[in-house]
Amino acid sequence: MLGTLREEKVFKDPVHKYVHVTSPVIWALINTREFQRLRRIRQLGTSFYTFHGAEHSRFSHSLGVYEVARRIIAQFERNRYPGWPREEGLLALAAALLHDLGHGPFSHSVESVFNVSHEDWTCRIIEGDTEVGRILAAVDPAFPRKVAQVIAKTYPETVVVNLISGQMDADRMDYLLRDAYFTGVNYGAFDLERILRVIRPHGGHIVVKESGMHAVEHYLMSRYQMYWQVYFHPVTRSSEIILRKIFQRAKELFAAGYRFAFLLDPLPKLFRGELAVEDFLRIDEPLMQTVMMRWTEEADPVLADLSARFVYRRLFKYTAVAGPDDPAVERMRERLAKRGLDPDYYTEVDYPTDKFYDMYKPGHPGTKSPILLLTEKGDVVEISEKSLVVSSISAGSQQQGTHYLYYPEEMTEEAV
Amino acid sequence: MLGTLREEKVFKDPVHKYVHVTSPVIWALINTREFQRLRRIRQLGTSFYTFHGAEHSRFSHSLGVYEVARRIIAQFERNRYPGWPREEGLLALAAALLHDLGHGPFSHSVESVFNVSHEDWTCRIIEGDTEVGRILAAVDPAFPRKVAQVIAKTYPETVVVNLISGQMDADRMDYLLRDAYFTGVNYGAFDLERILRVIRPHGGHIVVKESGMHAVEHYLMSRYQMYWQVYFHPVTRSSEIILRKIFQRAKELFAAGYRFAFLLDPLPKLFRGELAVEDFLRIDEPLMQTVMMRWTEEADPVLADLSARFVYRRLFKYTAVAGPDDPAVERMRERLAKRGLDPDYYTEVDYPTDKFYDMYKPGHPGTKSPILLLTEKGDVVEISEKSLVVSSISAGSQQQGTHYLYYPEEMTEEAV
Amino acid sequence: MLGTLREEKVFKDPVHKYVHVTSPVIWALINTREFQRLRRIRQLGTSFYTFHGAEHSRFSHSLGVYEVARRIIAQFERNRYPGWPREEGLLALAAALLHDLGHGPFSHSVESVFNVSHEDWTCRIIEGDTEVGRILAAVDPAFPRKVAQVIAKTYPETVVVNLISGQMDADRMDYLLRDAYFTGVNYGAFDLERILRVIRPHGGHIVVKESGMHAVEHYLMSRYQMYWQVYFHPVTRSSEIILRKIFQRAKELFAAGYRFAFLLDPLPKLFRGELAVEDFLRIDEPLMQTVMMRWTEEADPVLADLSARFVYRRLFKYTAVAGPDDPAVERMRERLAKRGLDPDYYTEVDYPTDKFYDMYKPGHPGTKSPILLLTEKGDVVEISEKSLVVSSISAGSQQQGTHYLYYPEEMTEEAV
Amino acid sequence: MLGTLREEKVFKDPVHKYVHVTSPVIWALINTREFQRLRRIRQLGTSFYTFHGAEHSRFSHSLGVYEVARRIIAQFERNRYPGWPREEGLLALAAALLHDLGHGPFSHSVESVFNVSHEDWTCRIIEGDTEVGRILAAVDPAFPRKVAQVIAKTYPETVVVNLISGQMDADRMDYLLRDAYFTGVNYGAFDLERILRVIRPHGGHIVVKESGMHAVEHYLMSRYQMYWQVYFHPVTRSSEIILRKIFQRAKELFAAGYRFAFLLDPLPKLFRGELAVEDFLRIDEPLMQTVMMRWTEEADPVLADLSARFVYRRLFKYTAVAGPDDPAVERMRERLAKRGLDPDYYTEVDYPTDKFYDMYKPGHPGTKSPILLLTEKGDVVEISEKSLVVSSISAGSQQQGTHYLYYPEEMTEEAV
């Protein structure tokens, strides 16, 4: 199964033009049930309610990450850079392809309610008794574990880890370009070929030639634009809030013994926290959408109303507030309570920072590995020491956010 | 409700950059349940199995058709062309927006099994007791009927009809560009602004200045490329064939009294041919996908196997044959029958012509209204009289197709 | 001559797709000798030696500035913004079109040698006895003066001035997009339609809705990228340095009575500082290139060598130094002097700041009018107060430059 | 000098993103005087008067042809196709780079007046005592001759010849994309990567896999569009006609002993047909433009008027006629003669077919080598046998042209 396919396979891809597959292992992985399931999970969750083009799947993103990794590795090999371990090529490609395998439907919203983690599920699928697991084990019995380690960032060959998940990795490079393409927010695009020309494997890191600093600045500014224009868009946040509240309500009702008029297996196991791998793999976005569509007719008025809001896109409105303690928040909660609405389900103060730790914050313990510049003398320095633009984005990202109060506008009489 | 919104609304659109809405009627229509439902119907059905980017919805296409129509009308009004009835603007825009409202899930495959027609459903929704129907009736009680007439091509002001459905209409202009964008097949793109510059309302038609003939040739060649590269792609046909056979089998089983382990309302009504508008509106692609996912576990082996093929993308392979009577077809049917497989469910000879009547065929009774050139002297001539390229595409399209035999490769021992 | 053309004229433009002309005055101005002359002046001077696509002319840029101004004004008029004086439309368009009329060949290099200014020449041509002057005067005898005032920033209606020359004006918007397009440096592109949506005329300024702040940040980052990647590219600087030294040498030789083997009228007048408008209009880049080609054969070895360097692209190499006082500079000068080469002609320490005053520097006297944000409450604040990205680019731009020593590599034995 | 550069060199190119150079021979060739001279020759001659973006040089086109050839060869080598002679790589790249070296200024117009041929000049420069010739001879004394043979299509290894000049060669592939990019006529673009995927070296030809037939059809339709929209544009033809007449007049005057007020060496040698290689290399477009600018002041009224028409873009108008014998032509000639204008200099009937022999015409003796399809069985068939689109374009191209009569509108009283 090692070696190369008799004839290269290609996928037509709007972002990278073609995705090229020559390894039979990669080809077999793509054709597994578990990988095909990613077609039924959107890359950007509920963002399609803000940007109607954003229906693209994690399947397409995963192929894209694989392709970016393949091009980076090809560039490293063509230039015979000493820092790249050639024997790790297949491992790196497999990890790139499979890194999102454990994403469930609308994962950012759902994970927080059920305390699950897509990284864990990814590793369980890879090391489990699955089609993917069997293909990997056929390469070498230790191979599934290695792939899981790369994804879990515990693999000792750190350059492989950093290729897949660093501050400027194949994952981010694909999703920025892809999300920009499908939303139509073209200011999120950056020049991938320019980046490929300036990166090098070096001391276990993927570093950037100092002369390529402006290319990295451009990449980071593209990321900055995507965060503010797309990922933190308040309409998307509104739909995520509603989705989260739907599942909070359903979980609460289930715990209280409520008899659902409609419920599909394996959701009870999800509510009880007892999902096995084979259960997990049956949950996808069509199932969740079908369930919520039916819940619009549930007897519980909160579940029914919130589900209808989501399905028919009757989202919460939002207004800027000073913070969670702004008196306007309490006033809104009281107004809703007077109308018989539970304020915990009908309001939320949101401040989009959860993804911000991805942005570079030097010295912060939770931060991802920094972007490093390789000077002409061969030294390595962290980019924010050289680039005022990067250091200011890092420093300033925290303070630019706005607290928004989300609420059901048509259920309130007066303006806030 | 007539008049204009206080502030123009826009949708970010990857194809047209922005979709602009100034009419409160249009804005209200977009926010109805029925229109939002189009988010849950893909524009290209099963094509996402061939082109992974093709997950775009009929919602985005419908907004796009509206936007193209809006630009054409704006161009006509700015130039004060006498052939355009200014008072019909809102009617034209509403029809453009709503023309696909009656599409069900995977409609091309499903309609043929259940003998339904999306055009009929569109008109029933528009004239029915629906959110859309009420908004249209608020404009004028006769308005829903007018919109339905435009879509059904029976409205007397034919220039409005031709704007929405002719050989070079807002519908086609959007879908060619949009399908090219989302599949990544960029050779399907044409220059919309150039077309806008050369079209004119004239004698109830949308005609083309003769000097713009090459622009039309380019548009038609883009269409030609899209047909061969995308719409007729054999992998897409394979997934459509499987889908059709799944629903044929389910319908047959239902008629025979089979007890489905899983079935969701209102599918029984669909099987019995008794769908009401409110039932129809509950059927979307997530529901169909959820049902087929469950059917992979049905007791009936044909339904279970075909459903698994669709859900996990284990499609039929294909091989060129001379036609339905090619002896290779019968040999394949026999081989499958020997293995206990019903050849009617496991083979199909397909020849992609069903959409070909859309291509221009002069003098053919079923043909759409032709594309007309307006000469400098003011005469109108049909384009294939002037353009060898167009006449050859029209004449030749018939003979270029290939008959393919579809079959389950791994269930047969020998090659065909 | 006022009014509109019977049929709109268009120019096919790679950047804006089409440039639309409806005013007979604008049409007549484009067809003058003086405006057509801009075809023979490159937009980016010697940059074509670094980016071979950068052969685009000031003619195309000038049409582009006109087109951007036209779109901005159309947007203002469509929305009926009170801050825009509708009667000034033609004035604004004429000024946009003509603002670069006084650029000579390779103007950035040549102007510094001969102490001329393209702004002065522009006004002299506009108010002079020229085809342009006569067309403008036919509109109204005061019109040429008004156009010149807008370009000279002394026109009392400041919103018209700011439309053409501010920190975010039609001039910059066109040149960033155009220079990005023709060099191929696509990271210089920004989203013009997005900017058009967020700007407003307000209090004599073109301001930006606060919600559009990120759009401005993106525009400024595009500018930042263009400065570092294109405008300050050391290879371009090298060719500009050589060009400047050629003309310094020629001027010096002329003053010293040297007998040129080749000299074309009206260069002697240029050397003597006695150019009249009609002389100025005869000097274009083909003339300068022809003269330099001949000067490769002049008896004066400095003039001949420098000219050959320019014509055959044998540019000076460069190396980073600490500043003009870096000892490496003096060492290089001595080494060249020993070989009989005049160090004043064969070295230069360059630090690219001359265009930096264009970047926004709050509180700096020489600065262009700032970019202003319009808050939801209707206040106006300068953007760097709100945007950390902008303030850091402004603050940091100064310190990021590098001093480079330029020198003729092959004429020195040792490395620096 | 063989081998590879220590570090790959790249040129930023708007069409191909980057042009990559690894061979020291190619690098040295690019830096010769003769190759740098191509910066001063426009790729599209006078087309910039129709499409203002079309200022791109033959230098950029030549780099582009080299780059396309490099990618094709890389594709052939990566797939180890047996039909490609690996040892001919450098020869093919050098020929691709240098194939246009002998183009003079505005060559299509000028060559016909002076009976010179750019192919001849290319070979004379390559085999002559030039910088290019010396670099090639350093590879191998026989190498300059081989390069010249490839360009002259006499080299025995025909697959190398066909790579550079066939119906679908590196030359055409670059110029279609490049001319589309710089004119802004984006419907001339085709999908280069798709073409690269379907071509194969086979039996001394570059053939196309049958499954890639639609890709070739798209490429040929792009060519068709470029011919009609760009290369045959009547405004471009008008400027070419004027240019040709200027040089006819100058040649005639020179032969008659006219004393030019302005003439630059080596034009007298050109007029006498006595140009040597070193003379030829001194003639470029800046020289021609400078000369014509001066000729606007010549005593000969025809030369002065025609030169002013060209320099200030006061082109001839055009009107459709039935052919050279249309009575309208003779009437126009008489009208001009009555006004004292020589009709031979002031009229021309033009029918753009001269480039049409490039289009595919099966069986026609003057035709270029056909495009061949490689069937699945391994047979080779000429494409027009399979493709109705191609055969119709070939057949129809002849009859679609229009005869235009060009004339100086403002010098005639009545309309034609």
Whether residue B261 lies within 8 A of chain A, CB to CB, comes out as: no
Question: In A153-276, which ranges are continuous DSSP H helix?
Answer: 158-164, 170-183, 192-198, 213-226, 234-255, 267-272
- Of B99-103, C261-265, D29-33, D191-195, the one with minimum mean pLDDT is D191-195
CA C217 to chain centre: 22
CB contact under 8 A, B13 and A282: no
pLDDT in tens, D84-135: 999 999 999 999 999 999 999 998 888 888 888 899 999 999 999 999 999 9
Q: What is the pLDDT, as a whole number, of residue C228? A: 87
What is the 3-class SS of B377-388, one letter each residue?
CCCEEEHHHHCH
All partners of chain A with 3 or more CB pairs under 8 angstroms: B, C, D
Residues in chain B: 416
**Residue C223 contacts residue C182 (beta carbons within 8 Å):** no
Minimum CA–CA partner of C62 in chain D: D52
Q: Got the DSSP string for D332-365?
A: HHHHHHHTT--HHHH-EEE---TTGGGS--TT-T
* Contact: D184, C52; criterion CB under 8 Å: no
CB neighbours of B253 closer than 8 A, spacing ≥ 6?
A: B260, B300, B303
Cβ–Cβ < 8 Å for D21, C29:
no
From D25's Cα to the closest Cα of chain B, the distance in A is 37
pLDDT exceeds 60 at position B357? no
Phi, psi torsion values for B106, nearest 5 degrees: 40, 55
Q: Which residue has the higher pLDDT, D293 or C411?
A: D293
Q: Hey, what amino acid is at D407?
A: Y
pLDDT of residue C400: 64
Q: Supply the pTM of this predicted model.
A: 0.94
State the angle between helix axes of D58-78 and D89-98 in degrees (0 to 180), rounded to the nearest 10: 160
CB contact under 8 A, D10 and A193: no
Mean pLDDT of chain B: 91
Counted residue by residue, chain C has a size of: 416
- One pLDDT digit (tens) per residue for chain A, 416 residues: 678 888 889 999 999 999 999 999 999 999 999 999 999 999 999 999 999 999 999 999 999 999 999 999 999 998 899 999 999 999 999 999 999 999 999 988 888 888 888 999 999 999 999 999 999 999 999 999 999 999 999 999 999 999 999 888 999 999 999 999 999 998 778 889 999 999 999 999 999 999 899 999 999 989 888 988 999 999 999 999 999 999 999 999 999 999 999 999 999 999 999 999 999 999 999 999 999 999 999 999 999 999 999 999 999 999 999 999 999 999 999 999 999 999 999 999 998 864 433 444 545 544 567 899 999 889 999 988 888 778 777 765 555 678 999 999 877 755 44
Q: Is pLDDT of D369 > 90?
A: no
DSSP B42: B
Would strands D348-350 and D17-21 be described as parallel, antiparallel, or unpaired?
unpaired
* Closest residue in chain B to residue D185, using alpha carbons only: B191
Q: Does D331 touch chain A (CB under 8 A)?
A: no
Rounded-to-integer distance, Cα A101 and Cα B147, Å: 46
Residue A78: closest CA among chain D residues belongs to which residue? D8
pLDDT of D353 above 90? no
Q: Quote the tokens at residue A134.
A: 């069997």
Is B53 in Cβ contact with A56 (below 8 Å)?
Answer: yes
How would residue C186 be classed by pLDDT, with cut points 50, 70 and 90? confident
Q: How far is D160 from chain A (nearest CA, A)?
A: 25
Q: Is the ipTM of this complex over 0.85?
A: yes
Dist CA D9 CA B292 (whole Å) = 55
Collect all residues of chain A within an 8 Å Cβ-Cβ radius of residue B48. Answer: 39, 57
Q: Do D53 and C14 touch (CB under 8 A)?
A: yes
| Interface probe with B: pick from C9, C11, C17, C20, most Cβ of B within 10 Å | C17
Best residue of D198, D219, D221, D376 to probe chain B, by most B CBs closer than 10 Å: D221
Select the residue from A388, A394, A400, A416 to test the C interface by mutation, using most C Cβ atoms within 10 A.
Answer: A388
Is B286's CB within 8 Å of A282's CB? no
Q: Report helix, strand or coil for C414.
A: coil
Contact D388 B392 (CB under 8 A): yes
Domains in chain C: ranges and CATH? 9-198 (1.10.3210.10), 233-314 (1.20.1250.30)
**The dihedral formed by the CA atoms of C384, C385, C386 and C392, expressed in degrees to the nearest 10:** 40
Residue C367, pLDDT > 70, answer: no
**Max mean pLDDT range (A75-79, C348-352, D177-181):** D177-181
Peptide bond into C266 cis (omega under 30): yes
Which pLDDT tens digit goes with each residue over A186-244? Answer: 877 888 999 999 999 999 999 999 989 999 999 998 988 898 899 999 999 999 999 99
Q: Is residue A310 less than 8 Å (CB to CB) from chain B? A: no
The whole-number pLDDT of residue C368 equals 63
Chain D residues closer than 8 Å to C284 by CB: 289, 293
- B388's CB contacts (< 8 A; 6+ apart) are D392, D393, D395, D396, D399, D400
Average pLDDT, chain C: 91
Neighbour-count burial of D71, counting CB atoms closer than 10 A to its CB (0-12 exposed, 13-18 middle, 19+ buried): middle
All residues of chain A having their beta carbon less than 8 Å from the beta carbon of residue D18 are 193, 197
When pLDDT is averaged across residues D14-22 and rounded to a whole number, the result is 96
Q: What pLDDT was estimated at residue C266?
A: 94
Query: What tokens does B375 get?
Result: 């000469």
Which residues of chain B neighbour C10 with C-beta distances below 8 Å?
A: 197
Inform me whether the C-beta atom of residue A35 falls under 8 Å from chain C C-beta atoms: no
B10 interfaces chain C, CB cutoff of 8 Å: yes
Question: Looking at CA atoms only, how far is residue C100 from chain A in angstroms?
Answer: 29
Phi, psi of B245 (to 5 degrees): -70, -35
Q: Which of B18, B193, B197 sits opposite C193 (nearest CB)?
A: B18
Q: Is C197 on the interface with B (CB under 8 A)?
A: yes
On whether any CB of chain A is under 8 Å from the CB of C364, the answer is no
Which pLDDT does position B116 carry in this prediction? 82
Decide if pLDDT at D358 tops 50.
no
pLDDT range class, residue D368, cuts 50, 70, 90: low
Residue B185 Cα, gap to closest chain A Cα (Å)? 7
D182 interface with C at CB cutoff 8 Å: yes
Nearest to B224 by CA among B113, B359, B129: B359
Q: What is the share, in percent, of chain B residues with pLDDT greater than 90? A: 77
